[in-house]
Chains A and B, each alone.
Chain A
Amino acid sequence: GAGVSQSPSNKVTEKGKDVELRCDPISGHTALYWYRQSLGQGLEFLIYFQGNSAPDKSGLPSDRFSAERTGGSVSTLTIQRTQQEDSAVYLCASLKGAADYEQYFGPGTRLTVT
């Protein structure tokens, strides 16, 4: 079956512009994570959605970052007024239940802020 998809795969933007990154999770998966990974670094937790519960936004690095998940499926991560330090790979993962389940990752969006 289809896995997790993310779009765009690559995004180059100028400093100060807003960007939207999209994640299509596996159908039926109720939980979704966003992470970012800088070159040679580990995954940094950003936000977690579980069903209809309020999302855990504790990992968002600043108020320029926001995310939503519409209809319990597709999620978008928005970064406003991008900065060069936002350059990273943004990874989305979906899970069929609580976080004890396997996380299925999308291929990521490589964001470059010039």
Chain B
Amino acid sequence: RKEVEQDPGPFNVPEGATVAFNCTYSNSASQSFFWYRQDCRKEPKLLMSVYSSGNEDGRFTAQLNRASQYISLLIRDSKLSDSATYLCVVNKNTGGFKTIFGAGTRLFVKA
């Protein structure tokens, strides 16, 4: 089982739709969590950090559920420009610091 798992998708949604992605992690010692966005043939860029209390940035909401060991990303009112791959990132510090990227969830927003 991978340490960080994501549904690879693709998710095909119309403009204006609400879409949600989940990411599960296996190590309960995981300490910090992020969502990155990667456009086709580009480098990843930070979308948002994920806090225990949940956090919102405009149309994007990220949540962490430590008990069930998953994080989520909700995108409201999808735009064409939201089309990208969304990468879940988990940091842990057990016998050495490690950052683990999920394989990503592909999103296509269509007009």
A102 to chain B, nearest CB (A): 5
Taking a contact as CB atoms under 8 Å apart, the answer to whether B97 and A35 are in contact is no
Is B91 a contact of A99 with CB atoms below 8 Å?
yes
Select B91's contact among A35, A42, A100, A105, beta carbons within 8 Å: A100
Cβ-based interface call for A103 (8 A): yes
User: Contact between B101 and A106 (Cβ–Cβ < 8 Å)?
Assistant: no
Q: A68-114: which residues lie under 8 A (CB-CB) from chain B?
A: 91, 98-100, 102-103, 105-108
Number of residues from A at the complex interface, CB < 8 A = 20
Indicate whether A12 reaches chain B with its CB closer than 8 angstroms: no
B87 and A42 within 8 A (CB): yes
Given contacts A100-B32, A105-B43, A105-B44, contact A43 B87 (CB under 8 A): yes
Q: A99-B91, A100-B32, A100-B91 are in contact. Are A91 and B43 (CB under 8 A)?
A: yes
* B46 lies within 8 A of A98 (CB): no
**Assembled-state Cα–Cα distance A102/B45 (Å):** 9
Determine the chain A residues whose CB is within 8 A of the CB of B104 once the complex forms: 42
With a CB–CB cut-off of 8 A, which chain B residues contact A91?
A: 43-44
Chain A residues closer than 8 Å to B34, beta-carbon distance = 102
Listed in ascending order, the chain A residues whose CB lies under 8 Å from chain B are 33, 35, 41-43, 45, 48, 50, 56, 58, 91, 98-100, 102-103, 105-108
Inter-chain pairs besides A43-B44, A48-B97, 13 sampled, C-beta below 8 Å: A35-B101, A41-B103, A43-B87, A43-B101, A48-B98, A56-B98, A99-B97, A99-B99, A100-B32, A105-B44, A105-B45, A106-B43, A107-B43
